[in-house]
Amino acid sequence: FDTSRIYDYKKLYADYVEECGSLNFKHYIKFKKESNKVVSYLVKEFELRKNASQLKRASTAKTGELNMSKIYGYQLTDDIFKKVTTVPNGKSHGLVLFLDWSGSMHNHIENTVKQLINLVMFCKKVNIPFEVYAFTSKYDMPYSPKPVVGDIQLYGFKLINMLSSKMSAQEFLYAGSALVSMAH
């Protein structure tokens, strides 16, 4: 998959500043404070379910070595071997989110962006990698990829990388503020 054909978040927000000037961080910071309770609850529930799932998948096996503290009962029981419990590592997840950035979403985009930011803040707190893309056909952007032979060509379709787990804290603050401003 050729990621150079996606409008990158660094270019997107640089173009946004050039077009709109400075950003107002107040809306985003206020929203982030209001969401902390919800995000914390999501994190708590996720951790509880993750721990329960890991314990459920844990397996116990005999090692083949004698457990010397149980050797005295060898005539009464077969269970005289040491045991090992293996808990699998649960780091096999990630999220790719797609946001409908089309004109038909204009009545719902603010709440949708707020929900999206809640999910992304949850991912950041529990260290789940994520990528957020918006798709649209109307966004005028200077970026226009050249078609490559063998590619499917969707006329007017644009894919924009809006948020990423690869962003620094400053980039995320900036991107969140820009998204809230655009949606507002």
Residue 21 backbone zone (phi > 0: left; psi -120 to 50: alpha; other: beta): left
Strand-pairing partners, residue 96, are 131
With a cut of 70, list the residues of the chain below it in pLDDT: 1-5, 53-64, 74, 86-92, 138-147, 152-156
Residues of 35-44 as b/e, b for ≥16 C-beta within 10 angstroms?
beeebeebbe
The pLDDT value recorded for residue 16 is 78
Residue listed under structure tokens 């990158």:
8
Residue 141: its pLDDT value, please? 54
Looking at residue 124, its pLDDT comes to 92
Reduced to 3 states (helix: H, G, I; strand: E, B; else coil), residue 138 is: coil
Residue 120 is predicted with a pLDDT of: 94
Q: Looking at the whole model, is its pTM more than 0.75?
A: no
Strand partners, 97: 132
Look at residue 120 and give its three-state secondary structure. helix
